[in-house]
Amino acid sequence: MAEVIEIPRMALHDQVVVRLRAMLIEGRIAPGAKLNERVLAEHLRVSRTPLREAIKLLATEGLVDLLPNRGAVAVKLTEADVLHTFEVLAGLEAMSGELAAQRIGGAERAEIRALHYEMKAAFTRRDLAGYYHLNAKIHAAINAAAKNPVLTGAYQRINARVQALRFRTNQDEAKWKRAMHEHDAMVDALDAHDAPGMRTLMVEHLNRKRDTVLELMRAGEIHPLAAKA
């Protein structure tokens, strides 16, 4: 008789977190929408226990708000929230880029360049989800190369709340192409250990993201892919 291998509870929990996070970031759960546990459990084919654990974790990441008498809802930011969040995030990204350019090692530069090439391939295929996943890994790798755990903790908390908005900023072809060119410049600046240049690039990159998010919000187009959970 073949041995039955039980999937570890944590492995299931991690899978639920990954899939639910993607649904929130990619707009498949509308900002402000209540997370319907019954519907989500059926969709993800899991029981409510790992689902609730995943929701709690995503609440700590800033993707979900836990509200009295309403339960869990997908985070929905106002224009003021966006302005304040990107203001702080631009500073954190600038510091990450500056310190990374000073402290990054050869292996780290090689890894970021490899991710960059993968991201270029996703851009060529117009694979927005794949592009965003690699883009996020690159920004996280730059932050990690700064070698400052306090900075990393702050960056992860602040960035989490605008992940879904950052995902939507590359749906305009011209803006997506410009973002790709900006990443070309970042990789070159890291290779050259150009700390001032990297700081400037990161601030400009984030400010353009902010402006695009606000433009889409004002046009009522920021969440056209959102659907009821």
DSSP string, 98-117: HHHHHH--HHHHHHHHHHHH
- 69 shares its domain with 85: no
The CATH number for 138's domain is 1.20.120.530
- 87 shares its domain with 141: yes
- 35 shares its domain with 90: no
- 91 shares its domain with 41: no
Cβ 200 vs Cβ 98: under 8 Å: no
Using the Cα atoms of residue 47, residue 50, residue 54 and residue 55 in order, give the sign of their dihedral. positive
- 43 shares its domain with 100: no
Q: Report how many domains make up the chain.
A: 2
Ordered per-residue pLDDT tens for the chain, 229 residues: 444 444 455 577 788 888 898 888 877 888 888 999 999 999 888 888 899 999 998 998 888 989 888 889 988 888 999 999 999 999 999 999 999 999 999 999 999 999 999 999 999 999 988 998 999 999 999 999 999 999 999 998 898 888 778 777 777 788 889 999 999 999 999 999 999 999 999 999 999 999 998 988 888 766 533 333 3
- 35 shares its domain with 135: no
Q: What is the DSSP letter of 2?
A: P
Give the residue from 170, 158, 171, 143 showing the smallest Cα distance to 75: 158
Helix (H) or strand (E) holding 67: strand 64-67
Q: CA 60, 63, 65 angle in degrees (round to 5)?
A: 75
* Residue 172 structure tokens: 């305009």
- 39 shares its domain with 113: no
- 23 shares its domain with 114: no
- 52 shares its domain with 137: no
- 153 shares its domain with 109: yes
Distance in angstroms (rounded) separating the CA atoms of residues 229 and 137: 27
Q: Residue 9 has what pLDDT?
A: 52
- 174 shares its domain with 107: yes
Neighbours of 38 (CB within 10 A): 9
- 70 shares its domain with 89: no
* Residue 144 structure tokens: 């990690």
Q: What is the DSSP letter of 13?
A: H
- Domain ranges, residue 212: 79-218
* Residue 139 structure tokens: 């920004």
Q: Residue 10 has what pLDDT?
A: 52
Alpha helices (H) in the chain, listed in sequence order: 9-25, 37-44, 48-61, 79-103, 106-125, 128-145, 149-160, 163-168, 173-191, 195-218
Q: Is residue 192 part of a domain?
A: yes
Give residue 139's identity as a one-letter amino acid code: H
Distance in angstroms (rounded) separating the CA atoms of residues 31 and 14: 23
pTM of full prediction above 0.75: yes
